[in-house]
Amino acid sequence: MRRLIVSAVLSASLAGAARSAEGVRPPPEQGWKRMAVIGHSWSDGNTWLYLLRQALTDAGKPEPFLINAAAGGDTAGENVKCLDWAVLRFEPDLAILLATANNVRKMTDAQFEAAMDEMIRKLKDQGADVLLLFGRMKCPEGLQPADMQDAAKVTAVVAKEREQMSAEAAKPEVERAADERIHRALARKYGCRIADMKPLLVRQFEQGQWLWEPDRSHLCFEAYRTVARAALDALGYESVAVPEKLKLRVLPGLVTPWRLRAALTNGVALDEKTVLDVKPDDSWKVLELPEKEPQASWWPDQVRQEGYAMSLEKLLGKAKGYVGVATWNADKAGTAYVNTGGQLQTVWLNGKRIYKAGDWNGFHAGCMRIAVDLLAGPNTIVIETGPQFALNITPGLLW
């Protein structure tokens, strides 16, 4: 029953609590065409982004292109380093920054503020609207999901959280915790939209919803619905409901089937000579995507349904890596874009290496979008990868 109450309340904007945005402005009449999201693992997984997009389309709003520039573990300092090629080249008209979780242990407040300031300034200079999302509820120490059935324990946690929020709100803004102080100062400086997610998460917890995955850090699906709620409200879509379920789409231009084997035990990577000798035989396994067998938990199953290969260890056994070969048939010669995701290490097209993993750029599909020249007819793709990967080919840079 509590879960049903939470879902209904989310759809109704958490009974007004979600109006954590200050000075909410209405969205443009035609919405935003290119929506970039910058940050860490909460966004790298794409869940709340897909919920946001689906909420808009379900409500009859224009559907934006999503540009995900988040990578698990990244700080704002790492986000700013890739801003030009991962965000600005797409010319987004809206950028959402959710970038705080990893900064406490990796950056000083001054470094965080400087990185955020640089990103916002560059985005604003290019004409983008900017939304700052901040605030989180930490998983209460010692509490377990089963404790949500104990009303006294839930009430005690909520009372402590509310007491802390009230104490912060009573302080002059310059004396508040750095996360809030920096976000609000930057929002005023640049005219950004802003939303504090913590009151929404505390309200959701109070209504009986455990918010975290087993690692006690990442959010569960229902909590990502709250992130989507906060974003929608701050963008001026308070009346737009958050979907209760995702309508997942297969990645456009998904490359399939694959013939795969474990990497050779000598650990030597392919080069321009040896890649030409990669010839699958009957010992190689065939993998059709999307995989048919559901994954054990919700997020791995989300990406499985999108078309990620998730079962190489089950198919081929545990190994240091895997080699895959596929054929892409093009109707005509011309430019297209190869989009990488997951744990791909190298991608070869018709004997030429077009991608080699360097700095971590995230798990999401399209974390790298590589312009290539396809031949008319069959094109041979060879990959080296970890146990999970995504690869799709699209005619355009945005999809």
Is 248 within the bounds of a domain? no
Is 247 within the bounds of a domain? no
105 & 61 share domain: yes
Instruction: Encode pLDDT of 324-351 as tens digits.
Output: 999 999 999 999 999 999 999 999 999 9
Is 243 within the bounds of a domain? no
Closest CA to 71 of 93, 101, 108, 50: 101
Instruction: Encode pLDDT of 304-329 as tens digits.
Output: 999 999 999 999 999 999 999 999 99
Q: Is the distance from CB of 224 to CB of 50 less than 8 angstroms?
A: no
- Tell whether the model's pLDDT for residue 19 goes beyond 50: no
| Cβ neighbours around 124 below 10 Å, total | 16
- Tell whether the model's pLDDT for residue 299 goes beyond 70: yes
For residue 345, the enclosing domain spans 258-394
- Cβ-based burial of 55 (10 A; exposed 0-12, middle 13-18, buried ≥19): buried
Instruction: Encode pLDDT of 171-215 as tens digits.
Output: 999 999 999 999 999 999 999 999 999 999 999 999 999 999 999
Question: What average pLDDT does range 222-239 have in this prediction?
Answer: 98
36 & 101 share domain: yes
221 & 86 share domain: yes
Question: What average pLDDT does range 204-233 have in this prediction?
Answer: 98
Is 250 within the bounds of a domain? no
pLDDT of residue 268: 81
179 & 303 share domain: no
> What share of residues in the chain are helix, strand, coil (percent, to 5)?
35, 25, 40
pLDDT of residue 360: 82
Instruction: Spell out the residues 6+ positions from residue 335 whose beta carbon is closer than 8 angstroms to its own.
Output: 371, 372, 373, 374
Region of poorest pLDDT, from 24-28, 101-105, 172-176, 319-323: 101-105
152 & 269 share domain: no
The single residue listed with the structure tokens 């998983």 is 139
Report the Cα 317 to chain-centroid distance in Å. Answer: 29
Q: What is the pTM of this model?
A: 0.93
Is 367 within the bounds of a domain? yes
Is 253 within the bounds of a domain? no
Q: Is the distance from CB of 10 to CB of 42 less than 8 angstroms?
A: no
Q: What is the CATH number of the domain that holds 20?
A: 3.40.50.1110
Element (H, E) at 151: helix 151-170
182 & 71 share domain: yes
Question: What average pLDDT does range 213-220 have in this prediction?
Answer: 96
147 & 283 share domain: no
Closest CA to 393 of 362, 369, 377, 376: 369
176 & 290 share domain: no
Closest CA to 389 of 255, 220, 296: 255
44 & 187 share domain: yes
- Tell whether the model's pLDDT for residue 53 goes beyond 90: yes
Is 249 within the bounds of a domain? no
Closest CA to 209 of 246, 142, 158, 160: 158
Residue 145 in 3-state DSSP? helix
Count up the domains in the chain and report the number.
Answer: 2
281 & 386 share domain: yes
Where does the pLDDT of residue 104 fall: very low under 50, low under 70, confident under 90, or very high at 90 and above? low
Closest CA to 361 of 118, 116, 85, 65: 85
326 & 218 share domain: no
Instruction: Encode pLDDT of 356-396 as tens digits.
Output: 999 888 999 999 999 999 999 999 999 999 999 999 999 99
Q: What is the CATH number of the domain that holds 265?
A: 2.60.120
266 & 217 share domain: no
Is 42 within the bounds of a domain? yes
Instruction: Spell out the residues 6+ positions from residue 338 whose beta carbon is closer than 8 angstroms to its own.
Output: 347, 349, 354, 355, 369, 370, 372, 381, 391, 392, 393
Report the Cα 19 to chain-centroid distance in Å. Answer: 23
